[in-house]
Chains A and B, each alone.
Chain A
Amino acid sequence: GQNIDQPTEMTATEGAIVQINCTYQTSGFNGLFWYQQHAGEAPTFLSYNVLDGLEEKGRFSSFLSRSKGYSYLLLKELQMKDSASYLCAGTFNQGGKLIFGQGTELSVKP
Chain B
Amino acid sequence: DTEVTQTPKHLVMGMTNKKSLKCEQHMGHRAMYWYKQKAKKPPELMFVYSYEKLSINESVPSRFSPECPNSSLLNLHLHALQPEDSALYLCASSTHGDGNQPQHFGDGTRLSIL
> Which residues of A pack against B, CB within 8 Å?
30-31, 33, 41-45, 48, 50, 87, 89, 91-92, 94-98, 100-103, 105
Contacts and interface: CB of A to CB of B under 8 A. Distances in A.
B66 interface: no
B25 interface: no
B79 interface: no
A31 B33 CA distance: 18
Interface string B48-76: 10100001100000000000000000000
B45 A98 contact: yes
Task: Classify chain B: how many residues form its interface, as a range.
Answer: 20 to 34
A42 B97 contact: no
A57 to B, nearest CB: 12
Task: Identify whether the interface residues of B are mostly helix, strand, loop, or mixed.
Answer: loop
A15 B40 CA distance: 26
26 contacts: A30-B100, A31-B99, A31-B100, A42-B90, A42-B105, A42-B107, A43-B105, A44-B105, A45-B104, A48-B101, A89-B42, A92-B99, A94-B99, A95-B50, A95-B97, A96-B31, A96-B33, A96-B50, A96-B56, A96-B94, A96-B96, A96-B99, A97-B45, A97-B56, A98-B103, A103-B42
Contacts of A30: 99-100
Nearest to B4: A42
Nearest to A31: B100
A102 B102 contact: no
A46 B55 CA distance: 26
A50 B108 CA distance: 28
A42 B2 contact: yes
Residue of A42, A97, A98 with most partner-chain B CB within 10 A: A42
Contacts of B44: 100
Nearest to A46: B102
Contacts of B42: 87, 89, 100-103
Contacts of B56: 95-97
A94 B56 CA distance: 10
B103 A45 contact: yes
